[in-house]
Structure 1
Amino acid sequence: MNKSGIVSEICRKQCKCFYAPLTLLLVVLVSYPVKGQAPDTVAGIPVNYDEEKVGKYQLPDPLKLANGESVDNADTWFEKRRPEILELFKEFQYGHTPGPLDDLDYNLFDDGTPAYDGTAVRKQVTIYFSDDKEGPKMDLLIYLPADTMDPAPVLLMPGFFPNYSRVDDPGVKRGQIWNRENERAPAPGDSPFGKLDVPLLISNGVGVATVYYEDIEPDFDGGSKYGVTGLYREEGQEKRKSDEWGAISAWAWGLSRAMDYIEKDKNIDSDRVALMGISRLGKTVLWTAARDKRFAAVIASCSGEGGAAISRRDFGETVAHLTAPSRYPYQFAPNYHVFAKHVNQLPVDGNLLLSLIAPRPVLLQTGDEDLWSDPKGEFLAAVDAGRVYRLLGKQGLGTDQWPSPGEPVLGTISYYMHDGGHGTIPSDWDIFLNFLQKYL
């Protein structure tokens, strides 16, 4: 793999940070492709960073039913077209997932402790995914503003490190991490990406919730036997079915289980819960919001291929790169792999994923140097999805002109591209907080 390409495999194995989320205070410095430094190949597959080589393509139309009829009203969208699109994503990209648990089993072992000099109230709960208390389960960490008695809005942020490693709070349960040998180990005292700035959100009246994504499903090939997908595997089954869920759907399913608990907490306004995720967790939060209409808004950072970016553009990372055997085939349904060399035949694309979230607010944040994630492709997907938002009486982007870095385009669909690379930088949080204040 070319050194000027994606994050090195050495980094992934040593710190579990491939496509890692950035915190509020620290920018990850990694060798993603930047202007003038495009790798020739990734996983033995050529990579294109030349707009002139994108070629012509036709997006699947969010406002045309499978029978060819046009969608011209909200009832037809919600009753016919949206279910069609949702089923296509389940069948051909993310896989089908089981429904909610019949009875959510959880242990609220910290029911409200002052934190951060008394400005926040901390809660911690373990959510079990089966009757086996030693089986897959996740720890949900919540901070709520201490200066109000009213139910608070919350930003739920899945993280690449255990809760203990992500916050500056010694009262948080330590938990475990999946290490570079793909074994469980005690969570480190710090994440290599700094700490979440909990006081920043609390001071703006927004609560914080976080879970470690690998509590739900380990992020490596073969990890399913330790995660939730393994709980639903048929006895003796060795291979996944063609439309069977992968890791991204597993993580999304787990976030919905977090929402199941949040709805039980009288101190949280469950009608005002937003999602935020970065990179592969950007894909995850988009798919979570598409599947689960209880989430009020979503912020997706650099979700790229398999997320908001348009696959048909053949720019930066592609379906072929994602599903290559040495990379992330386990994150998607096996059906998705079929389209690696036939992407124009893929029944879905980023514009349809965004349309499933309508009419709820969504913010796409990216970086102008993160060519691997195709920032222009994300913008073009948002432009097309805006037609669904307008049909439902909401504002789309309001422009089809790709903005310069540092120029936010803020509507019910919002887009912001910073001057820099993959992930978030501190100044992005001015945009995020503006978005959250406006819509939560």
Structure 2
Amino acid sequence: MKRILFYILITYPICMATAQFEPNYDETKVPKFEASDLLTTFDGKKVNDTSGWENTRRPELYHFFEEQVYGKVPGKLDSLSFEVVEGSTEALGGKAIRKQIEVDMFKNGKSLSFHILLYLPNNGKASPIFLGYNFYGNHTITDDSNVIISNAWAMDNEDFGISDNTLTKASRGVRTHRWAIEKIIDGGFGLATIYYGEVDPDKNDFSDGLHRLFYEEGQTNPKADEWGSIAAWAFGMSRALDYLETDSDVDAHRVISFGHSRLGKAALWAGASDQRFAAVISNNSGCGGAALSKRKFGETVGRINARFPHWFSDTFTAYNDNEEALAIDQHGLLAQIAPRPLYVASAEDDQWADPRGEYLSAHYVTPVYQLYGKKGLARTKMPQTGSPVHHTVAYHIRTGKHDVTEYDWEQYISWAKKFVAKEE
């Protein structure tokens, strides 16, 4: 009885908050709006060339998202160290090299560690890399018994054998279907992945993740305009890239920021914040990711802030049920990636993430890419399901639900071979 009462007390505020912001799945209820012109500054000046984009428009858009959506990183680390704690040249039956790297971050006399699981083609060449987070631990993406099991906090999942917020060998390999490791290796790419809970546990508690390293004396939460979890995860991706730049088996100039769902949001912000990433892939990233907020379709700004108050900065709550007040929509985030290759992908049954809003957002960045002579998505009409469009800005929508599938990876590998691994 006490347990039931406790559950009610904990979930009641969340249920009440989210009830105020019901999702919309009716296109006829999408409000009329115009997507802001990416090539006109906030004070009305027209941008006509790459210099104007890079020196004026891009910075002002970046600062908007930093100050109003994802939050500022409050400083720099004092130091950073790397250690390869395990490795083999006989992974995947000998076709791959496996490395497990501990990354240690230090600030204000405090530290935090996370682990990179890295698979590379065993071909003696420096390999381009897909870098992305996983949801339940590095050991869940493969059946490889040598992969270390994290001791970080994890969301309970009965189907995966995770209870008491503790990862065990019971969950080894439960997410192999999301990571086409052998296809990636066979395609000439490496894969680097990190359990996101090691960088910042996915809960509304800023006491045990990356944020605490930066706190001033007596501080227990980020300030209103400071980073939430998405920005912290993006920061962790950049620190992983710091390591990859030291590894001679990695082509560090061709590291692709990849992410699914909330981690797709993090991948986009990582690519916007750190131009060392060669390309960015957003898989079903939805609200606060690739999808246009002003469509108010599927998950809305108010609903995401009520359900996941730790993901964004507190300043983002000013747009709860007030998306029309946004000075720029999410196409302004996608435009931060230009002129680097960008891939946005959706799923037909994932209406929560608003596939049409994801596509339109990618479409609206086309004028920015055209400044660089790059090809975007010229048509406002979405491509048919299963008919990917592979330009510098790429898009596909597949059948199925909110997930990462073998079909998705086949598209990413094919596209990356053309636009990332080789010169266009």
Q: Structure 1 length normalisation: TM-score?
A: 0.86
1:167 to 139, 142, 147: 142
Q: Which amino acid aligns with 2:85?
A: F
Q: 1:207 maps to what in 2?
A: 190
Distance 1:191 1:110, change over 3 A: closer
Matches within 5 A, 1:96-111: 96-98=72-74, 101-111=77-87
How far did 1:341 drift? 2.3
Q: Distance in 2 between matches of 1:43 and 1:139?
A: 38
Counterpart check, 1:77 vs 2:53: yes
Q: Deviations over 1:216-244 (max 9, x none)?
A: 0000011x211111111222124532211
Q: State the match for 2:284 in structure 1.
A: 302
1:197 and 1:429 map into 2 onto residues whose CA distance is 7
Q: Offset of 1:111 from its aligned partner?
A: 4.9
Structure 1 portions without partners, runs of 5+? 1-8, 14-40
User: Is this contact kept in 2: 1:92–1:347, CA < 8 A?
Assistant: no
1:171 is displaced (CA, Å) by 1.6
Quote the offset at 1:418 in angstroms: 0.3
Instruction: Identify unmatched segments of 5+ residues in structure 2.
Output: 1-6, 12-16, 157-162
Runs in 1 of length 4+ with deviation above 6 angstroms?
131-134
Query: 2: distance between equivalents of 1:286 and 1:244?
Result: 18
Q: How far did residue 187 of structure 1 move? A: 5.7
What one-letter code is carried by the residue in structure 2 that aligns with 1:306? G
Answer whether contact 2:133 2:194 (CA < 8 A) is retained: yes
Matches within 5 A, 1:289-328: 289-324=271-306, 327-328=307-308
- Counting matched residue pairs gives 399
Larger helix proportion of the pair: 2
1:42-66 Cα shifts (integer Å, max 9, x gaps)? 5442221111111211223221112
Paired letter, 2:133: P
Q: 1:248 to 1:433 in 2, by over 3 A?
A: same
Identity, % of aligned pairs?
37
Indicate the residue corresponding to 1:34 in structure 2: none
The amino acid across from 2:357 in the alignment is G
Structure 1 counterpart of 2:70, one-letter code? Y
Match of 1:435 in 2: 415
Select between 104-113 and 265-274 the one with higher mean Cα deviation: 104-113
For 1:72 and 1:80, the matched residues in 2 are separated by 11
Deviation at 1:186, TM superposition (A): 4.0
**2:331: which partner in 1?**
351
Aligned CA distance change for structure 1 residues 42 and 420 (closer, same or farther; 3 Å): farther
Verify: 1:115 aligned to 2:98, yes or no.
no
> What do residues 127-174 of structure 1 show as CA deviations (whole Å, max 9, x unaligned)?
011169984210011111112x22111111210021122212122222
Match of 1:416 in 2: 396
Judge conservation of contact 1:177–1:186 (CA < 8 Å) in 2.
Answer: no
Q: Distance in 2 between matches of 1:121 and 1:133?
A: 35
Q: Tell me what 1:225 maps to.
A: 207
Give secondary structure in 2 for the equivalent of 1:176: coil
Q: Compute the RMSD of aligned alpha carbons.
A: 2.2
Letter in 2 for 1:93: V
Residue of structure 2 equivalent to 1:334? 314
CA contact (8 A) 1:308 1:354 kept: yes
Alignment CA distance shift 1:111-1:430 (3 Å): closer
Cα deviation, residue 211, structure 1 = 0.4
Segment of structure 1 superposing worse, 373-382 or 425-434 = 425-434
Change (3 A) 1:42 1:329: closer
Write the distance in 2 (CA, Å) between the matches of 1:361 and 1:100: 28
Report how far residue 69 of structure 1 moved.
Answer: 0.4
Map 1:124-143 onto structure 2 (within 5 A): 124-130=100-106, 135-143=111-119
Matched residues in 1 for 2:182 and 2:221: separation?
A: 46
In structure 1, give the amino acid aligned to 2:105: F
The 1:202–1:417 alpha-carbon spacing in structure 2 relative to 1, beyond 3 Å, is same
Q: CA deviation at 1:387?
A: 0.9
Question: SS at the partner of 2:416?
Answer: helix
Q: 1:91 corresponds to which residue?
A: 67
Contact 2:143–2:173 (Cα < 8 Å) also in 1: no
SS class of match (1:156) = strand
Determine if contact 1:136/1:226 at 8 Å carries over to the other structure.
Answer: no
Q: 1:47 aligns with which of 23, 26, 37?
A: 23
**Partner residue, 2:223:** 241
CA distance in 2, matches of 1:132, 1:169: 37
Matched, 1:153 2:133: no
CA distance in 1, matches of 2:74, 2:221: 18
* d(CA) in 2 for partners of 1:407, 1:112: 39
Contact 1:366 1:423 in 2 (8 A): no
Shift of the alpha carbon at 1:407?
1.4
